[in-house]
Amino acid sequence: MKIVTVVGARPQFIKSAPVSKALANAGHTEYIVHTGQHYDYGMSKVFFEEMGIPEPWINLNVGSGTPGQQTSQMLARIEPAIMDQKPDIVLVYGDTNSTLAGALATVKLHIKLAHIEAGLRSYNRQMPEEHNRVLTDHCADLLFCPTQTALDNLANEGLTDGVHLVGDTMYDAVLQFSTLAVEKSSVLSRFGISPKDYFLATLHRAYNTDDPQVLRSIFSALQQISDLVIFPIHPRTLHAVQKGQISIASNVRLVDPVGYLDMLILEKNARAILTDSGGIQKEAYFFKVPCLTLRSETEWVETTDSRWNTLVGIDPDRISSALHQQIPADRPHPQFFGDGHASEKIVRLLNL
């Protein structure tokens, strides 16, 4: 079977790595179309190198821009790439502009579309990701859900045909690469830090980075932590910090984006994680590390229902209070995200 995979952003590289491996093991031919949505070495190429993802068949080099500009350029460039290959099926992942552009280009060409990580809902229509995931779900022929909640969300919208509960491919990736990360990563020694002696923070969503007052509030909260905060900073966040002349407290150490293996080690050994990333919320859960989500809602409700993740928004006092709450030692940790074999299940179901 000939497959075109459309990816473009850091989380998609992680989600796709175990699927690409499963496709190769099953004897399928995959052509990876990289939109270029993430293009810095630390946000793109390093993931292909570390995770053994096949080199992209083509890089569209779209780069940054407004959501409308970026999506339209991707759509215009993805369509001829798909037409050139005439695949049996196109795979898209998650909820980025690359996801939506890949979905629209595919359905306009009447080619079968599969959405991996289908059914997520934050119910916050201010998030561009929410529009992307809803529209993609309603375009797709095959919808691969990571959790029962995602399956239920689709059923509530009348989507039941071609819907499958398979588990989470990011969980597959963590299980596949954690041992390698321990063997290969020297990030703790490079940064001069020890396990559980630091907090880890990430921030990239537009509604947190584009308003200087919001960004200032978040960095004020990090200052109140007092202890060391390691902050691998997304390029758009760094630009916003510089543009807004946001002061950085001495306990907050901004570092360049790190590769996947280094990030796994930083997550696993953090005292707690503060983030607005959906993927990092999950990875914190996988490693049983408390997470504070710098949002008012999450699509990964399993992590909050089980009390491993707390929604704190951007209020410094609320963040500080949550960090100092006593964590119950006997918190349940259910296997919400599958058995680590989501990728193999997806590959088997692609033949249906």
Q: State pLDDT tens for residues 242-253.
A: 999 999 999 999
Is 314 within 8 Å of 293 (Cβ atoms)?
no
pLDDT at 136 over 70: yes
> Which residue carries 């997806």 as its tokens?
346
Residue 326: the pLDDT is 63
The mean pLDDT value for 9-18 works out to 92
pLDDT score recorded for residue 352:
64
Tokens read off for 159: 């989507």
3-state secondary structure 82-93: HHHHCCCEEEEE
Confidence of residue 12 (pLDDT cuts 50, 70, 90): very high
Band of the pLDDT at 347, cuts 50, 70, 90?
Answer: very high
Residue 40: predicted pLDDT:
53
99 sits in which H/E element: helix 97-108
Assess whether pLDDT exceeds 70 at residue 102: yes
Active site amino acids? 204
pLDDT above 60: residue 174: yes
What's residue 275's pLDDT? 97
Using DSSP, state whether 105 is helix, strand or coil: helix
308 vs 324: CA distance, rounded Å: 14
- The residue-averaged pLDDT of 271-295 equals 95
What pLDDT was estimated at residue 48? 82
Quick check: 308 pLDDT over 90? yes
Work out the pLDDT band at 38, boundaries 50, 70, 90: low
Q: Are the CB atoms for 32 and 5 separated by under 8 Å?
A: yes
pLDDT tens track for 193-222: 999 999 999 998 888 898 999 999 999 999
> Which element (helix H / strand E) includes 52?
none
Q: How confident is the model at residue 39 (pLDDT cuts 50, 70, 90)?
A: low
Query: Where is mean pLDDT largest: 40-44, 64-68, 178-182?
Result: 178-182
Give residue 126's pLDDT band: very low, low, confident or very high (50, 70, 90): confident
DSSP single-letter state for residue 41:
G
The span from the CA of 131 to the CA of 153, in Å, is 14
The pTM of this model reads 0.93
- Helix orientation angle between 278-286 and 169-184, rounded to the nearest 10 degrees: 70
Read off the pLDDT band of 329 (50, 70, 90). low
Backbone phi and psi for residue 172, each to the nearest 5 degrees, phi listed first: -55, -45
Residue 122 is predicted with a pLDDT of 94
Q: Residue 284: which of 276, 218, 133 has the closest Cα?
A: 276
For the cut 60, the answer to whether the pLDDT of residue 311 exceeds it is: yes
The percent of residues above 90 in pLDDT, for the chain, comes to 78
Confidence of residue 327 (pLDDT cuts 50, 70, 90): low
Which structure tokens are listed for 12? Answer: 């998609």
